Structure 1
């Protein structure tokens, strides 16, 4: 399917993408580009990439597809380095968790080549980072959101979609603005809350005692606080407006619950909890039904 794919960022996201395409026999050569040669060397040792490259021109020229899988704050600089060498026929995509800022950066750096950039976001991850965290089946049965631009050709969008499908992903489409509003609520805010809770506990004078008795509920709620601080700093700032809106709404909910607790209004507290329980049960049923449908479709 692809003769040459270049991956900027060979950690969990980019590395798993490369491994999946290799397993599917969908690519002849994977070129890795990164900030540290030792990271690229490790990716090559693990079989994630075939070639470690520190010259952007060599990575870009002749590539069928370029994936930017670096923290979103690096996207503009990476696009600037790619632009002078970007040839007709090469498609560029990204895996960033925000899209509006990425589109702005792409328009600024690619200019009249913007049609060759198809924004994307695979909805999958782990708490580990780096090449050693990459796994071949990370994207199997998971959603990948594409946010095509008006300038994109249907062929280029399908090329990107086809790559993710070969990784086992299910393709969804949103506009960049829709994407950022949705993920501010269901991804970016939960990460902010998890980081805030663990940081709050860690700063208490009796933190050791508290962590000693923290059990599965605390572990499950705060699991995502084990993710990369650099990456989530960048995501939070990139989606600042939408995240602030969701945070303000959540703080109103907390203030409301605090008032109910202060008033010992057990009936109203239980009503909030019951509504949340129903919503979560329905969400889980929907996920399980979709997974079963995808499994049957793949049989």
Structure 2
């Protein structure tokens, strides 16, 4: 068991992401006390009952007093409001990070809300998740072998970035670094667009007059393709709007690909269709091999 490295961690939002962070830190012996803050008192009470948190935060000054680390695990649209509520009570030794799926907007919100204290904010994004929500969704090994991307600011001190990285490593994560702009372009393509497509496909079928019949025969392929449409609509609304420019660019590119495939199909051009399918199959196989090599489980803690 590790000697605790964090005396007090405050988490805004103790569902899947924030709750799993708390569970993992506790399991690693890397934190003494976890304070949870959220909009739903029922969720806070459940997190306390499950042992995810030790204290439900009420008074902001008291909750932040002596905190080593604050994690924002709420929808990205709430970032500015939460940071503004933190700012007056943020002590010099407290580092703030987040788990938002977009970064440029989060950085802008942090600069506006924290002003002279923005150096204490280290942006982050754990690349892990499920389509379930709430404290009951939190699991201890969500981050084992998964990537966490940090997008440090020029103002950040190296030791503060290291503190955030150490907390994620205690959860079993593998750390990567990107700029906020690089992050948003990358995840527009490989995360935000797939979610948009899954939501759109399920909504399209649900609105057909024979939707019941269609869903009756939908099997594993449809289930796998649309799994992420079970994710939080509020969270993904916020992500889509926050990363609008990059997501629009990726959507336009995808629509062009669909238009090309439609033209091949209309022309009965089986060779062209097969070439697209084969290229995609090869790329996916290479990707699977790469992540299976890179994302090995973290070594057990002694």
TM normalised by structure 2 equals 0.97
Alpha-carbon distance in structure 2 between the residues aligned to 1:44 and 1:255: 51
Match of 2:238 in 1: 234
Alpha-carbon distance in structure 1 between the residues aligned to 2:298 and 2:139: 20
Over residues 7-37 of structure 1, what are the superposed CA-to-partner deviations in whole Å (9 max), with x where a residue is unaligned?
A: 0001110000000000011100000001121
SS at match of 2:11: strand
Alpha-carbon distance in structure 2 between the residues aligned to 1:208 and 1:291: 39
Match of 2:86 in 1: 82
Tell me the C-alpha RMSD between the 2 structures. 1.3
Match of 1:183 in 2: 187
State the 1:298 CA deviation. 8.4
Query: Are 2:20 and 2:140, in contact at CA under 8 Å, matched by a contact in 1?
Result: yes
Alpha-carbon distance in structure 2 between the residues aligned to 1:7 and 1:213: 42
Alpha-carbon distance in structure 2 between the residues aligned to 1:288 and 1:33: 36
- Deviating above 3 A after TM superposition, structure 1's stretches of 4 or more consecutive aligned residues are 294-299
Query: Are 2:172 and 2:298, in contact at CA under 8 Å, matched by a contact in 1?
Result: no
Query: Are 1:40 and 1:52, in contact at CA under 8 Å, matched by a contact in 2?
Result: yes
State the 1:286 CA deviation. 0.6
Alpha-carbon distance in structure 1 between the residues aligned to 2:211 and 2:61: 50
Alpha-carbon distance in structure 1 between the residues aligned to 2:135 and 2:284: 34
The alpha-carbon distance between structure 1 residues 298 and 63, as it changes in their structure 2 partners (threshold 3 A), is: closer
Q: 1:256 aligns with which of 246, 260, 269?
A: 260
Count of residue pairs the alignment pairs up: 298
Match of 1:221 in 2: 225
Matches within 5 A, 1:88-167: 88-167=92-171
Query: Are 2:28 and 2:301, in contact at CA under 8 Å, matched by a contact in 1?
Result: no
Match of 2:11 in 1: 7
- Point out where structure 1 has 5 or more consecutive residues left out of the alignment: none
- Point out where structure 2 has 5 or more consecutive residues left out of the alignment: none
TM normalised by structure 1 equals 0.98
Query: Are 2:96 and 2:122, in contact at CA under 8 Å, matched by a contact in 1?
Result: yes
Q: 1:194 aligns with which of 183, 193, 198?
A: 198
State the 1:295 CA deviation. 5.7
Deviates further, 215-224 or 54-63: 54-63
Match of 2:213 in 1: 209
Alpha-carbon distance in structure 1 between the residues aligned to 2:218 and 2:60: 47
State the 1:93 CA deviation. 0.2
